[in-house]
């Protein structure tokens, strides 16, 4: 059995557990951030879930690295997975990858066009990233002096405007960690917006081309 087959088998087996770990990570982080008045054992349990999910991502990354046989080139080829291990903000995005793999196994022919899938996955990624970034920036900002992000609603509004590359400037992060979250979200927002815009433009061009073919050449 070659390395590709072993890697594919591992990814099939680890996909669902990693998706569950992503959801548990997001839920546990949300509980810790939004309700700091919970009893100590509950907060400790949430912290254990956070570190446990992180450990699962590290194990998955190391196993796939070993199975690939690519050496240091694995980091460059799988840069998103490398960032997921390093940046907690990106871990919920793994849910989108698992959903994609499940759709590929369910049907031989994809039910959606490539452009439709790109827009769907970009929308799912934007939602998960926006929620994660909202929790993170609220965590670092709401008790900071001179902070404009005081409530979770403020954090959600900031995340939406940042992902949309609008940036009204009415609420902005002021702490170093909050600004680091902003930098990551800005980069992801630009990439996702470019993917959606390019896919939608390609879809329109295909539709117009089909309409032109249906009409046929002009009569003389």
- The whole-number pLDDT of residue 153 equals 92
pTM of this prediction? 0.74
Who contacts 46 (Cβ-Cβ below 8 Å, separation ≥6)? 28, 29, 31, 32
Q: What is the DSSP string of 83-145?
A: HHHH-GGGGGGHHHHHHHHHHHHH-SS-SS-HHHHHHHHHHHHHHHHHHHHHHHHHHHHTTST
Whether 38 contacts 49, CB under 8 Å? no
Helix (H) or strand (E) holding 153: helix 152-163
pLDDT score for 25: 86
- pLDDT tens-digit readout, 146-189: 889 999 999 999 998 888 877 777 889 999 999 998 888 888 77
Which CATH architecture does the domain made up of 112-220 adopt? Orthogonal Bundle (1.10)
Model pLDDT, residue 3: 58
Which residues touch 126 (CB under 8 Å, ≥6 apart)? 163, 189, 192
| CATH 1.10.287.70 domain residues, the chain | 112-220
Which H or E run includes 30?
helix 3-34
The pLDDT of residue 199: 67
Looking only at Cα atoms, what is the longest distance across the chain? 83
- In this prediction, residue 211 carries a pLDDT of 67
């Amino acid at each position: 059995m070659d390395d590709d087959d072993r890697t594919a088998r591992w990814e099939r087996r680890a996909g669902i557990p990693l998706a569950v770990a992503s959801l548990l990570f997001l839920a546990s982080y949300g509980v810790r951030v939004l309700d700091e008045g919970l009893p100590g054992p509950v907060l400790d349990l949430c912290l254990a879930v956070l570190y446990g999910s992180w450990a699962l991502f590290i194990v998955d990354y190391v196993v796939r690295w070993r199975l690939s046989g690519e050496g240091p080139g694995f980091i460059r080829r799988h840069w998103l997975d490398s960032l997921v291990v390093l940046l907690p903000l990106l871990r919920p995005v793994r849910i989108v990858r698992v959903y994609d793999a499940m759709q590929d196994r369910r049907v031989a022919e994809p039910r959606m066009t490539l452009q439709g899938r790109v827009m769907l996955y970009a929308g799912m990624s934007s939602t998960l990233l926006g929620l994660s970034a909202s929790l993170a920036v609220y965590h670092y900002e709401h008790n900071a002096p001179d902070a404009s992000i005081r409530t979770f609603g403020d954090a959600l509004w900031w995340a939406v405007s940042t992902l949309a590359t609008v940036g009204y400037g009415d609420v902005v992060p002021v702490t170093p960690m909050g600004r680091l979250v902003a930098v990551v979200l800005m980069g992801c927002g630009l990439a996702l917006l470019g993917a959606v815009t390019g896919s939608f433009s390609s879809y329109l061009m295909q539709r117009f081309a089909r309409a032109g073919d249906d009409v046929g050449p002009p009569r003389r």
